Structure 1
C-alpha cells in the first residue's frame, strides 16, 4: 500500500499500521465486485452454455464453485485490509460479535452494495453484446436474482426461503468467526470461508438461487424483472437475522475464546 493508505498508531510503545478508511472501503468494493462478477457472471453465461441440453454448461456445481472461488480470491487479495466481508450480513454479524466498530458498518454496507451493483452493471453491458435476445431473456429470468415460489429454481415457497437463508447465513457467520479468531490456524481462513460458501450454494441454489448476502441480491435485482425487487426483502431480512443469531451463538458457545 502507498504511504497515504495507512495510519500509524502507537499501543503500549509499539507502532502499528492501520489501513485508512479509503483503503478499507475500496477493499470492500473490490472484493464484493469480484464475488458478484465471478459468481453471477458464471450463473448468467456458463451455467447452461449454450443451453440446458449442452453438457458444456457448468450447472449448479459450477456456479457454487464460482461463488466460493471468488470469495477465496477476494479474501486473499484484500482481506488483510478490510477484513474481507464483501457482504452486509457478514459486516453486521462481525459488529455484533464485537470485532468491528458499529460506526464502520454503514460505510462497509454502502461500499458492498456499490461493488455488487458495479459488477452486475458491467455484466449487463456484456450481456447486451451477446446473441440476439440474450439480454432480454436474462432479464426476464431475473438476471440470476434470488426468489421463492414460482421464482425459486425448484419451486420452494416463502417459508422454505426464509428458513434456508436464515440457517445458512448463521452457519456462515459461525464459520467466519471461528476461522478468523485468535488461535485459529493461520493462512487458511479464506480457503475455509470460500469452501463453506460453496457448500452453502450446493444446498440452497435449488431453493432460492442462494443469497446469504444482501449486496448480491440487490445487485441482481437491479437488472432482473420486477418480481426480483418485490421479493428482495426476504434476501435482506433473512441473511441479516441469520448473521445476528450466528454471531450471538458463537459468542455464547465460545465466549471463553479471545475474539
Structure 2
C-alpha cells in the first residue's frame, strides 16, 4: 500500500506538471488581448512553479520526482530501488498521458481547433519548430540542461542541505532552464513530459520523441556519476 501511494503521487505530480506547463504553452500562450499571451517567461514560470507546488504537496510521499530522468538517476546514485524506479517511471508516463488527454479535450473545445504540428506543447527541433535549431543543438541542450538540473536536485536534497528550500530551488532551476531552452526544443529534460503531448500530436513530435527520452536520461546518469565521484552525499 505504501508503494502504491508513492506511485499514485508520482502520477498525480506528473499530471499537474504537464497540464500546467504544456497548458500554458498551448492555451495561455494565446490570449484575447493579443497573440503574445503569457510569452516565454510565463511558460517558463508555469513549469517551474508547478514543480514547486508539487514538491510541497507530494514530496513527503514520494520525493516528487515526476520525471523518469530523475528517477533513473536516483537509481544510479543508489537512492531508489529498482522496483520503485519501475513503478515511478510507469506512473509518471501514465500521469503525463492523462494530462495530455485532458489538455487535448480542453484545446479542442476552441472554435476552429485543429492539431498543429508539434501540438499540445510537444518538444521538437528543425524546420518549422520555434527557433529551427538543428538536432545537434537539441541533443546537447537536453543533455546539458538535464545534467545541471540533476546536480541541483542532488545538491538540494543532500543530507546537509536545507529540506525546506529544496522544492523552491528545484522549481527555480527548472524555470531558468526553460527560459534558455524553449526556443531550441521547447524544453523537455523530462521524457514523460515529452511522451504525453507527442502521443496526441503524432507526426514529427512522435518521430523526434526518441531524443527527448535518450538525452535527458543520459544527462541524468552523468549527473549521478558526478555526484557519486565528486560530491558529498
TM-score by length of 1: 0.87
Residues 101-250 of structure 1 correspond to what in structure 2 (within 5 A)? 101-131=81-111, 133-134=112-113, 136=114, 138-250=115-227
- Deviation, 1:141, is 4.4
- Deviation, 1:246, is 0.9
Residue 140 of structure 1 aligns to a residue in which SS?
coil
**8 Å Cα contact 1:176-1:193 kept in structure 2:** yes
Alignment partners' CA distance in 2, 1:148 and 1:61: 20
Structure number, greater radius of gyration: 1
The one of 68, 81, 101 equivalent to 2:48 is: 68
Structure with the larger strand share: 1
Return the structure number with greater relative CO, CA threshold 8 A, min gap 6: 2
Residue 223 of structure 1 aligns to a residue in which SS?
helix
Q: Deviations over 1:217-255 (max 9, x none)?
A: 00010111411110000000000000000111122111x
Alignment partners' CA distance in 1, 2:127 and 2:150: 29
TM-score by length of 2: 0.96
Alignment partners' CA distance in 2, 1:36 and 1:49: 20
Are positions 1:25 and 2:7 aligned together?
A: yes
Match of 2:66 in 1: 86
Alignment partners' CA distance in 2, 1:139 and 1:112: 25
* Structure 1: tracts of 5 or more residues without a match: 6-19
Q: Deviations over 1:100-155 (max 9, x none)?
A: 11222111100000000111101111112112x22x1x443422111011143101
Alignment partners' CA distance in 2, 1:193 and 1:238: 20
Residue 110 of structure 1 aligns to a residue in which SS?
helix
Match of 1:34 in 2: 16
The number of residue pairs the alignment matches comes to 233
Residue 149 of structure 1 aligns to a residue in which SS?
coil
Name the Cα RMSD after superposition: 1.4
**8 Å Cα contact 1:144-1:224 kept in structure 2:** no
Structure with the larger helix share: 2
Residue 133 of structure 2 aligns to a residue in which SS?
coil
